[in-house]
Chain A
Amino acid sequence: MKLTLRVWRQKGPQDKGSMVEYPIDDISPDASFLEMLDVLNERLIAEGDEPVAFDHDCREGICGMCSLVINGTPHGPERNTTTCQLHMRKFKDGEVIDVEPWRAAAFPVVKDLVVDRGAFDRIITSGGYISAPTGTAPEAHSTPVPKPDADRAFEAAECIGCGACVAACPNGSAALFLGAKVTHLGLMPQGQPERWDRVVSMLDTHDAEGFGGCTNTGECTVACPKGISLDVIGRLNGDFIKASAGGKKK
């Protein structure tokens, strides 16, 4: 395949950056999108240019490290698919493809297509856990969990923390990421004792990190490679209101 790539190049956090055009040829339709970028990089190195920096690790759609807004859509055109699992057969020969980093104040660009998603870790740090010190756990079967709850908790827990929801949201909100964790832990009986403090604390961090507010546009769930449902945001809102206005929080 022959393609024209327009890739965001930015030397460092302070650099202004711009879109740079690279024609590229001889791409196998069976290559993944990142393998196509590998090919581009090999060529750039051979020509003595700096290769394009981009984040990636597992290349099987689970680690959440790969990103890229491809033609305006986070993780590209295929639904429920991360960039690393997107294959070139989904593009047309001769197509012009724009490749940009996640755009959010809370995700500053480090270099080229690499952004800093530390804000997500800080959100989790502020309460996205159940306090269960090692060794204190009761026998696993002592607390049955209704299957529907366990299943819904699992679906929320599938979030890979990639940040596509933020990249897609017109408000730059991380409500889907936040809601997924609040829902996962809030549905498990083990998560009840800290449920109300958790949601208030995590939302506080979310807001302090400079993410926007959710306005229920639903763009996040469409972009989410794991198809996390918008329901988690409803649950986040409900829990937060109950916690802060309903006096549930200690």
Chain B
Amino acid sequence: MSDPFYQSGEPIADAKAPAGPVEQRWTTRKFEAKLVNPANKRKKKIIIIGTGLAGGAAGATLGEAGYQVVQFCFQDSPRRAHSIAAQGGINAAKNYRNDGDSVHRLFYDTVKGGDFRARESNVHRLAEISTQIIDQCVAQGVPFAREYGGLLDNRSFGGTQVSRTFYARGQTGQQLLLGAYQALMRQVDAGNVELHARHEMLDLIVEDGRARGVVVRDLINGEIKHYTADAVVLASGGYGNVYFLSTNAMGSNVTATWRAHKHGAYFANPCYTQIHPTCIPVSGDHQSKLTLMSESLRNDGRVWVPKEGGDTRRPADIPEDERDYYLERIYPSFGNLVPRDIASRAAKNVCDEGRGVGPGGLGVYLDFADAIERLGRKTVEAKYGNLFEMYERITGENPYDTPMRIYPAVHYTMGGLWVDYDLSSNIPGLFVTGEANFSDHGANRLGASALMQGLADGYFVLPNTIGDYIARTELPAVRDDAVQEARTRVTTQIEKFLSIDGDRSVDSFHRELGHIMWEYCGMERTEEGLRKALELIPALRAEFWTRLKVTGSGDELNQQLEKAGRVADFLELGELMVIDALHRSESCGGHFRAESQDEDGEAKRDDENFAYVAAWEWGGEGGQPVLHKEALEFEYVKPTQRSYK
């Protein structure tokens, strides 16, 4: 690296995971954790930001345990958290199919799937807990798919060879979230959880180095309020919206975790981004979001583009020998079922060659003609009917007659705030769960594992570990100056947004940032591109702070103002992502550096130099971020270079 764009800091380590055999660690940790006397729990307050799977499950469980929980979400109801949109399913090592699955196999698959960039201890715990999650959700009345005997159905998902995915049609996330939401509302009813919908966390209150509360804005009337507590939990989701167009909800944002980061919480592996290959392509400049279609479509659909670029014939008019079924050609053994990142990158490559289809040439065909011929239209309809309907609703094209067009889109972010085995960030008292933390997926997440991680963190991990912190920490009341300082930061920023009075809308900046990120820090990253992004982002940020226009006032429902805060944070996060991507000159999982590939174009990991978690410390306004490395060791799953040829 010629010019330094970051500083090197001290290495860090996860001090909480016990030593010993990996199967014993979670049991040991639970036993070693100090318990909070039930009578004392009532006096302890925990703030939770977010009501998705990780937050909702945590609120329900901690409320039940007897803590005073104060919980916030920016949506109008906790039931709307974006976990609701997860389609596919949730993994669990139940081995109901008797097909050789086990906790160890799920552990193994997840470490391998994460391209050896996750901690073995965490992943093993996740695999262990997976089975309890299913039991818990069934007890809550989650209507999982069942077989005629009344027992739970499973399917194989995301290229795994065992059938371990539990599902509720294509709405598994919805059903699991509603289960958690209902459990949470039960605690609201019992008076254990105080819930504030339409409240957005805008700052963290830190006193003597400990997280002690939050400053929130009531989105209805703009009131700035503060809440103090014994511990703060961030379950605020991922940051895929930095790309503007993603499968995330419009409101999904990084603000809670980013503002904690600016208080000193390390942000780990921000560059690991999962791109989903089967999304509906962009249709024009108006586009505000991308819609995912279940990956299961690739089981029967064949992906192709015309052999020649600029072929504008209707797909049906392109003869068989002028089509390039490129996945089947390049990856003969896996064909259309290659992992997400490979399928995504291959699609980008053919589009970059000018062979993309549809408006703007950003799309490839996913063709069901063969499947319809082989299985009959009825069977295809039974399998994919609802997806086909959804596609037709959005594009106006009928996939029974004409091939679908798909294109990759940002779907999930593996990075997040750094946490130890207890899910505690490096700021004592600040816990981070679900997609908001970086913990379990390494550089890439397996299909049907996000729901598993969110619920594992919320129902089972955090409730066991947060007690240890609370039991060991005697906290005085929060001093007023710490509160006032945080409040002032928030009000100053809001006033700033309202006073710039420039000529560009928040959305226009967000769109431009998204474009930079997608172009230079998307599916395929190069040193040259990343360096370019490193010039473009600060320039855009400077422009944001001089030309932004936010109408209305701060003391009313003001969606522009809300968005301004979120985009301001994305503009900083984007830069860190680029820095992380630039420093990690290997390819691994959801991070592909063009410089690091083998002769077949496969991602090439560099375990010698990069088998670590990159935990970034905020370098201050205008400063450079500081890199802390947490070395990763693999005792049980030996790193191998994957091959899907």
| Residues in chain A within 8 A of chain B (CB atoms) | 11-12, 27-32, 34-36, 38-39, 42, 44-46, 48-51, 53, 55-65, 78, 81, 85, 87, 89, 110-111, 114, 116-118, 120-121, 124-141, 143-147, 150-151, 153-154, 157-158, 160-161, 184-185, 188, 190-191
Contacts and interface: CB of A to CB of B under 8 A. Distances in A.
Given A60-B292, A135-B460, 18 more contacts: A39-B286, A48-B551, A50-B551, A58-B82, A63-B85, A87-B396, A126-B189, A132-B183, A134-B60, A137-B138, A140-B138, A147-B146, A154-B169, A157-B168, A157-B178, A190-B139, A190-B140, A191-B141
B227 interface: no
Interface in B576-635: none
A46 B505 contact: yes
Given A63-B75, A64-B80, A30 B145 contact: no
A158 B173 CA distance: 11
Contact of A134 (B148, B251, B288, B459): B459
A35 B78 contact: no
Nearest to B83: A63
B119 to A, nearest CB: 24
9 contacts: A62-B171, A124-B182, A133-B61, A134-B60, A135-B132, A138-B135, A144-B146, A144-B149, A150-B146
Given A117-B76, A128-B182, A78 B147 contact: no
B319 interface: no
Interface in B140-166: 140-141, 143-152
Contact of B139 (A63, A116, A132): A132
A184 B147 CA distance: 18
Given A63-B249, A125-B185, A184 B85 contact: no
Contacts of B134: 140
Given A126-B189, A161-B79, A58 B84 contact: yes
Interface in B390-405: 390, 393-396
A129 B141 CA distance: 8
B398 to A, nearest CB: 13
Contact of B140 (A53, A129, A138, A141): A129
Interface in B74-102: 75-80, 82, 84-85, 94, 96
A134 B463 contact: yes
A110 B558 CA distance: 11
A221 B79 CA distance: 21
B393 A87 contact: yes
Contacts of B197: 118, 121
Interface residues of B, number: 80
A50 B396 CA distance: 32
A116 B148 CA distance: 42
B231 interface: no
A43 B250 CA distance: 19
Contacts of B251: 57
B188 interface: yes
Most buried by A among B64, B146, B396: B146
A184 B182 CA distance: 12
Contacts of A51: 551, 559-560
Contacts of A132: 136, 139-141, 183
Contacts of A64: 77, 79-80
B38 interface: no
Nearest to B186: A129
B411 interface: no
Given A49-B551, A63-B82, A145-B146, A30 B140 contact: no
B286 A36 contact: yes
Given A57-B80, A87-B396, A184-B141, A31 B150 contact: no
Contact of A85 (B57, B247, B394): B394
B27 interface: no
Contacts of B307: none
A136 B34 CA distance: 21
Interface in B481-527: 503, 505, 507-508
A118 B77 contact: yes
Interface of B: 57, 60-61, 64, 75-80, 82, 84-85, 94, 96, 132, 134-136, 138-141, 143-152, 168-169, 171, 174-175, 178, 181-183, 185-186, 188-189, 195, 197, 220, 247, 249-251, 283-284, 286-289, 291-292, 390, 393-396, 459-460, 463, 503, 505, 507-508, 549, 551-552, 556-557, 559-560
B85 A58 contact: yes
User: Would you list the 9 A-B pairs with minimal beta carbon distance, nearest first?
Assistant: A144-B150, A129-B182, A137-B139, A132-B139, A154-B143, A137-B135, A30-B283, A134-B61, A31-B286
A61 B293 CA distance: 13
A59 B288 contact: yes
B146 A60 contact: no
B140 A130 contact: yes
Contacts of A118: 76-77, 197
Contacts of B168: 154, 157
Nearest to B284: A28
Contacts of A191: 141
Contact of A53 (B76, B151, B559): B559
B250 A59 contact: yes
B64 A133 contact: yes
B77 A120 contact: yes
Contact of A140 (B60, B152, B250, B551): B152
Contacts of A58: 80, 82, 84-85, 249-250
A86 B188 CA distance: 35
Contacts of A190: 138-141
B189 A125 contact: yes
